[in-house]
Amino acid sequence: MANVTLKDVYKSFGKNEVIHGINCEIKAGEFVAILGPSGCGKSTALRMIAGLEVITKGEISIDGKIVNELEPADRDIAMVFQNYALYPHMTVFKNMAYGLKIRKMPKDEIKKRVHNAAEILELTEFLDRKPRQLSGGQRQRVAMGRCIVREPKVFLFDEPLSNLDAKLRVQMRLELRNLHENLGITSVYVTHDQVEAMTLGDRLIILEDGHVQQIGSPLEVYERPATQFVAGFIGSPAMNFFDAQLSNNGLAVELPGSDTLPLSNSGLPDFGGQKVNLGIRPEHFKLTDEGAGTMRIKVDHVETLGADTLVHGHVGENGTFLTIRLPDIHHITKGTILPLAVPSEKLHLFDKESENRIGD
Ligand SMILES: Nc1ncnc2c1ncn2[C@@H]1O[C@H](COP(=O)(O)OP(=O)(O)OP(=O)(O)O)[C@@H](O)[C@H]1O
Ligand SMILES: [Mg+2]
């Protein structure tokens, strides 16, 4: 178990800078997920920790020791990839033992470690099988086993579940979290799947285009997204955004078409008149009676999903489109005008220029 620290880490490929200064401290035993859209630099960040990419600038330390110059093999890390490439001609046992054998570990110790890992991963009965005689999930577990037997200080995962079908992914996600709770090995997990990141990670590092947008626990990034990018990226269906204007010295926010929503004003400076972007999550609208502080949406389309109902509509004549999510089943017809309330603490405000969060 070791901590991993990245200090002002930059990476360029030729003239093209793709990581623009990452700073983060991953605590010993922590499970951190790096989350972001395709091409934002997740794999590059992970490969720099692994030593598979040379960093252009900055410092990476593992267990308090700067590893910039260390070869991957000397960093005491183990990495699981999306394509886990087991040796097809070797049994599960041999696949798991291979890395230790080339390190010339004594046979007894190899046997002990493989059996131990197989037990943890419930692979004991498959040790004599070849990979082609296993299911996708079992193969992925063998790949995990190969890493566990090394007893590394740090686990690095690059989208290890993305080749599995949806159901197996959910199952493996739970297994991974259990495994982490049992072994307690510091883990860095790269994914573009927000549910995977939110359920696995103690903390998330959210990357956009090589910039860190926010580092925080799953609830922190959901409840207090630091930027409009994070707000729109975390949560499904995605947060709705509106052009709005602060009024009453920051005590209310006005939507075009004259709906006015009261604000709790916590942490808001005197912002009277400022134009802002207002964000509201689909699940934070409540059906209400006509009255003060409500929004009215005109319904365009309804999706009844059983557990909840998604209502797509717009505010004002030809106004902003939005999606709301109501628990349970609702029969709502197209064209209905729905009065809605949103608790003031569920309103998110973002600066129009910087797109940074305004207020608490
Ligand atoms: N070896 C390389 N040479 C040049 N450019 C590279 C190289 N590897 C990655 N890049 C570029 O760096 C950027 C980040 O790539 P990276 O693979 O880290 O993204 P990612 O977040 O892992 O994406 P994905 O979710 O699609 O795997 C991309 O623009 C990519 O084209
Ligand atoms: Mg990648």
Same-domain status, 158 and 259:
no
Rg of the chain (C-alpha set): 25
User: Mean pLDDT, the chain, as a whole number?
Assistant: 91
How far apart (Å, rounded) are the C-alpha atoms in residues 26 and 190? Answer: 14
DSSP 128-145: TS-GGGS-HHHHHHHHHH
Mutate to test the pocket of ligand 1, among 18, 38, 82, 213 (most ligand atoms within 8 A of CB): 18
Query: Does residue 41 contact residue 35 with C-beta atoms inside 8 Å?
Result: no
Residue in 19, 34, 43, 189 to alter for ligand 1 test, most ligand atoms within 8 A of Cβ: 43
What's the structural domain count of the chain? 2
Q: Is 39 in the pocket of ligand 1 (CB under 6 A)?
A: yes
Helix axes 136-148, 107-120, angle to 10 degrees: 130
Do 13 and 34 fall within a single domain? Answer: yes
267 lies in the same domain as 168: no
The H or E element spanning position 96 is: helix 92-102
Q: What is the mean pLDDT of residues 182-203?
A: 95
Read off the pLDDT of residues 71-105 as tens digits, 9 standing for 90 and up. 998 999 999 887 778 999 999 999 999 999 998 99
Query: What's the CATH code of the domain at 23?
Result: 3.40.50.300
pLDDT digits over 255-297, tens only? 766 678 878 766 666 666 788 999 999 999 999 887 755 788 8
Percent with pLDDT over 90 in the chain: 69
Cβ atoms of 131 and 86 closer than 8 Å: yes
| CA 73/CA 342 separation, integer angstroms | 54
Q: Are 28 and 84 within one domain? A: yes
Cα of 42 vs centre of ligand 1, distance in Å, is 8
Query: Are 16 and 127 part of one and the same domain?
Result: yes
Q: What pLDDT does residue 122 have?
A: 87
Strand, helix or coil for residue 92: helix
Given 232, 261, 282, which residue is the final one in a domain? 232
pTM of the model: 0.91
Q: Are 216 and 33 within 8 A, CB to CB?
A: no
Q: Which residue range is the domain that position 32 belongs to? A: 4-232
Domain at 249, CATH number: 2.40.50.140
Ligand 1 atom showing the smallest separation from residue 190 Cα? 22
